[in-house]
Amino acid sequence: MAFPEPEPGLSPPPDLRALVEQCVSRFPTDGARAVDEACAQYPHLAAALRRRMALLERSGFLAGDPGQTDYPDRLGDFHLLELIGEGGMGAVFRARQVSLDRQVALKVIRADLAFSPRSRERFRREIEAIAAMRSAGIVQVYVVGDEEGVPYYAMELVDGINLQDLVLDLRRTPPERLTGADLRAALARMLAGRQASSTANEVEDLFAGTYVQVCCRIAQRVARTLAYAHERGVLHRDVKPSNVMLDRSGRVLLLDFGLARAIESGDGAMTRTGALVGSPAYMAPEQMRGEPNLDGRVDVYGVGVLLYELLTHRAAFRGDTQEDLRASVLAGSVPSPQQLNPALPRDAETICLKAMAPERGRRYATTEALADDLQRFLELRPIAARRAGWPYRIRRWGQRHPARATALVATLLVAVGAPIAYAAQERVARQAITAALDRAERNQRSYELAISTVIAGMEDTTMRLAHDEQLASGKLDALRRELLEGAAAFWQTMADVDDPAPGVRDALFRAKSVLAVTRRELGDLAGARAVLAATARQIEELRDAATESERRHLDQDLAKVLFDTADVMLAQHELRPAVETLQRSAAIAESAAAAAANPGAVQRHVRRCRLNIAQAQAQLGEADAAIATCREVLAGMADEGASDAMLRARTLLAAVLLHTGRLDEAAPALQEAIDLRTQRMQADPADVANLRDLKSVHHNLGLLLQQRGDLAGARHNLERSLTLAKQLRAAFPDRLDNRLTVLSSTMVLANVLLRLGEPAAAEALCREGVHDGEVLAVEHADVADVRSTLAELRSTLGQMLIDDPARRGEAVALLRGAVEVLEARAQDPGAGPDVVSSLATTRGLLASALARSGELSESRAVEDAAFSAYEAAWKQDRQNGFVVANAARAFASASSRGLRADDEARVRAVLQRAATMPEVDEVLWTLLRELPEPSQRQLERLRPSPGDR
């Protein structure tokens, strides 16, 4: 692609900025050739153009791989010290202003937006919006500048935490059990270790009183700041927890005016291209719809939604997709805050709900009015807001549920009018019913055939819709959901049919099974389970009165329904009930096998039950039982080829053997699984499920070889796993599991590269993973697995930097952040031993980094916390080979550090603690026997005797 030749008399040559934009847009494909061609065409601009492009390249703005972006060390008068945040528009650095020798927060436009005219305009608008304002609730802007075409501004450096991070930290405690002091303590804990740079003094105590009072105080100060901005003609348009900060002095600061607009500008939430601008979960409905003539009530709504999240610890509006979220916001229906926080006073709830009313006419007229009503609440005076009356609430319900509202009105009309019309209609109704019965009797056989045919045809269509990889990838999520909802309505109609005729009854049981599938795919696990439970009860009632022949048919139906029920139980993590239900399903199927028309189908059903049992047993920590179940299934298929069941059994067996540390048995099982799945891939490259399993088996073999010390073999398998993971991500880019598995493979491969003596390659790969994880975390902030995977990646990167004194500070910061996220994740009821083990490993790394930084006291405390986490993980699953191995290495490292410090008391305490976990203790002493003999003798002397353990 060459630059277009200018036609004389038609258009002037481009200016420097336009030429830079053209080069930037071409750089990803043409590289330096784009610059050379531009310089050749416009020699009078060549020197300036090369200088600009060189600056962008040094800054990482032209990096082909976004994970390699590296900002410059210097920008004009500012020396960039540390990246402290990135958002939709820019990156914020802690920086030193050289001329005045002071630290500032320097915001630079984001790399990929630097030469977009529209983005530069938004960045300029943000600067103008806050530079002209002087308020205690808005950070002060010091300097505005532009360095070689890169705009920036310097502002007050605030030591604080944004409300989103603060709420995440507080979520481990229910909101009704918190106090203002707890919020103060959380802020202090999260700021611990940071160097104070804010000069503000605490004028009044933000944190006095109850937790609800503190939340209302915060919302009131945000509302006052917005009122100040509104007086100067500026709407914020993006009020949300991440844009509000508490500093260590108790100030409440409103950040990020990147979406600010003049009130009189009259624009909606849309850009000129029609794309929504803002954060959908916090947008007012009129902003979401892109309506013109927005006013201050947009920000009133934002404060209301922010207050709701503070008070309840959950976002007001959620959705699996953007369409779901949009529908939720426009519907305006949220759970009662008092239901989520029983300690919430009625007046506080009333204020919150009035501020976030869907209709702007029902909100506070101004943010000042909202702030005044919050002040009345805080002073225990009557508030101005009044709760919505019943007529309004009924009208809103009808708008959200038009079909139900119509049915209700019709029912009421019938209830009122029926007595009057009954006498007149009785004769006509009797005649119509008689005629219908006559027709039904004449057409019974045709009816049964029609019902069965329709159900069979729709069943195939619905199941393909439910399990189609492309539709499930997210690209067509809204369309898929709409189609599934339509299918669910059809199957619900079929399920409601009550016909005892055997020919119809079997088809209707299938209809209920498919209804359960559609409900599950729509995310309604409880609804799916209710359908299946009702179907199972109905079958068992029919079975009691059935003939022997009918009972065999009913048993087949019941076995299928029980299998589907167990599948939902597994998705709900109810493992023990799932195992019992699967055992019953298999037993019923086996009892009917002798008389079954298709014995092979019965065998396949029983195998599926047993493989699901094995998977549940593995998750329950019953590894021996899971291994025995897998081997039993495989023994029954000795003469069969590479069937789906056999492949799944071998893959599961290999994974459980690896999980329990039986490496000698796991290695050949994993290699055999790889060989079989590779053959399947060659025969059927479009089999996505096989591709996904092949990736997992390569990943597991890489982990095994890493544990054995075969780093070259580990690298080969992990690189293959990463290649397959990226192939899946490319095919289905919107599937979260595909994107997460790329991050996991990246992390493990980076560790292996580090151990192979390739630190630069390891760090580059790990930073790529961290970047991708941060992007994913922005898109899926509420998904725990995303947060914990990103934390583990940051932990891995921190480990790589520990040995470099110049970057040890970054390592400590990465590890602290990872520990905080994993601590919160470990509190989740569904967190297993692997999460707790990751927390323990990260704490151990942090302890090592702190020790090397001279922070010995804190290092010991963190190390003891790591030991506690390993103990917890070990108690959850004593056979988990990864937990045992990682714990043993942690205790071995602590023992070695104690020896080097000549601290025998510490070594004795560490060995005593390890001795309480026999599996860990055994591996620990295997590791310690690799130390020099003098160290071994000293450790044996300090080893607790059997009676002391």
Residue type (1 letter), 257: F
Phi and psi of 146, rounded to 5°? -150, 115
Residues whose CB is less than 8 angstroms from the CB of residue 208 and which lie 6 or more positions away in sequence, other chains included: 180, 214
Phi and psi of 319, rounded to 5°? -175, 140
Residues whose CB is less than 8 angstroms from the CB of residue 330 and which lie 6 or more positions away in sequence, other chains included: 285, 288, 289, 358
Query: CA 355 to CA 346: how far, in whole Å?
Result: 14
Query: CA 827 to CA 571: how far, in whole Å?
Result: 20
Task: Tell me if residue 199 falls in helix, strand or coil.
Answer: coil
Strand order in the sheet with 74-75: 74-75, 78-86, 90-97, 102-109, 150-155, 141-147
Query: CA 639 to CA 844: how far, in whole Å?
Result: 49
Number of neighbours of residue 815 by Cβ within 10 angstroms: 28
Strands (E), 681-721: none
Task: Tell me if residue 106 falls in helix, strand or coil.
Answer: strand
Quick one: tokens of 639? 């003469």
Query: CA 649 to CA 646: how far, in whole Å?
Result: 5
Quick one: tokens of 930? 């690799």
Task: Tell me if residue 932 falls in helix, strand or coil.
Answer: coil
Determine how β-strand 141-147 pairs with β-strand 102-109: unpaired
Q: Could you tell me if 794 and 818 are in contact, meaning their C-beta atoms sit under 8 angstroms apart?
A: yes
Query: CA 521 to CA 641: how far, in whole Å?
Result: 32
Number of neighbours of residue 424 by Cβ within 10 angstroms: 8
Query: CA 641 to CA 731: how far, in whole Å?
Result: 29
For the stretch 50-67, what's the b/e string if a residue is b when 16 or more beta carbons lie within 10 angstroms of its beta carbon?
Answer: eebbebbeebebbbeeeb
Number of neighbours of residue 935 by Cβ within 10 angstroms: 16
- Tell me how far the alpha carbon of residue 613 is from its chain's centroid: 28
Residue type (1 letter), 670: L
Q: Cα-atom radius of gyration of the chain, to the nearest Å?
A: 33
Helix ranges restricted to H, 759-832: 759-779, 784-801, 808-826
Residues whose CB is less than 8 angstroms from the CB of residue 616 and which lie 6 or more positions away in sequence, other chains included: 570, 575, 576, 578, 579, 582
**582 burial via Cβ count (<10 Å: 0-12, 13-18, 19+):** buried
For the stretch 606-627, what's the b/e string if a residue is b when 16 or more beta carbons lie within 10 angstroms of its beta carbon?
Answer: bbbbbbbbbbbbbeebbbebbb
Catalytic residue IDs: 238
